[in-house]
Chain A
Amino acid sequence: DQQVKQNSPSLSVQEGRISILNCDYTNSMFDYFLWYKKYPAEGPTFLISISSIKDKNEDGRFTVFLNKSAKHLSLHIVPSQPGDSAVYFCAASVSNSGYALNFGKGTSLLVTP
């Protein structure tokens, strides 16, 4: 049972424009959300996180928005750069307490020059 869903398997964006990656979840107990970036044959790299007490968190070009009522979060990358091309995983956890992460299937982002 997939509790974290990324319904877009791929996304293509032009360099300089905004990339928006979406994620939905079904478990209302999730209260800590993370985005990871992953290159082939490598482990995921942490990008940004947000707890359920906030609805926005920003770090440089990356902003994560959380809509708890809709059980939806999104990652905005602006401006997008070719080096951002990778697979992005949304993950969720029940509190920031060492619980395991539930991952979405990932969205493959391609940023074209």
Chain B
Amino acid sequence: GAVVSQHPSRVICKSGTSVKIECRSLDFQATTMFWYRQFPKKSLMLMATSNEGSKATYEQGVEKDKFLINHASLTLSTLTVTSAHPEDSSFYICSARAPYGYTFGSGTRLTVV
């Protein structure tokens, strides 16, 4: 079935540094990918919609200069958390619309120290 590979699964970084998270669709082309963030005891909150070859669409309240999204090919979307701070620590998940439904990456646990 359709698979989205997300890396890294865990990352610890220092405050002020940047972290890049990758999501690849392995056996299908993903024109659109979605980036979600999950806070403890909260639902998965949509951060942005990533469209291949064009600018991402960000949800209200999400800083586009902080969460840089690049969707340069039909199989790869990246989320870069720039100048990370401890409050950015969270679980980030990508999703893509596959031929037979939505499929999710395995998630990235980001800890900023």
- Where the two chains meet, the residues of A that have a C-beta atom closer than 8 Å to any C-beta of B are 2, 4, 9, 34, 36, 41-46, 49, 89, 96, 98, 100-106
Return 13 A-B CB contacts under 8 Å, by A number.
A4-B43, A36-B104, A43-B93, A43-B107, A46-B101, A98-B31, A100-B34, A100-B49, A101-B34, A101-B46, A101-B102, A102-B46, A105-B41
Known A-B contacts A41-B109, A44-B104; A98 and B43 likewise in contact (beta carbons under 8 Å): no
Chain B residues contacting A34 (CB-CB under 8 Å) are: 101-102
Chain B interface, DSSP helix/strand/loop, else mixed: strand
Give the docked Cα–Cα distance between A106 and B93 (Å). 15
Chain A residues contacting B109 (CB-CB under 8 Å) are: 41
Q: Give the interface size bracket for B toward A.
A: 20 to 34
- Where the two chains meet, the residues of B that have a C-beta atom closer than 8 Å to any C-beta of A are 4, 6, 9, 31-32, 34, 36, 41-46, 49, 91, 93, 95, 97, 101-107, 109
Once the chains bind, are A106 and B43 in contact (CB under 8 Å)? yes
Give the docked Cα–Cα distance between A49 and B68 (Å). 32
Known A-B contacts A101-B34, A101-B95; A46 and B42 likewise in contact (beta carbons under 8 Å): no
In angstroms, how far is the closest chain B Cβ from the Cβ of A111? Answer: 21
Give the docked Cα–Cα distance between A4 and B97 (Å). 20
Chain B residues contacting A44 (CB-CB under 8 Å) are: 44, 93, 104
Known A-B contacts A98-B31, A100-B49; A89 and B107 likewise in contact (beta carbons under 8 Å): no
Chain B residues contacting A105 (CB-CB under 8 Å) are: 41-43
Give the docked Cα–Cα distance between A101 and B101 (Å). 11
Known A-B contacts A34-B102, A46-B101, A101-B34; A41 and B91 likewise in contact (beta carbons under 8 Å): yes
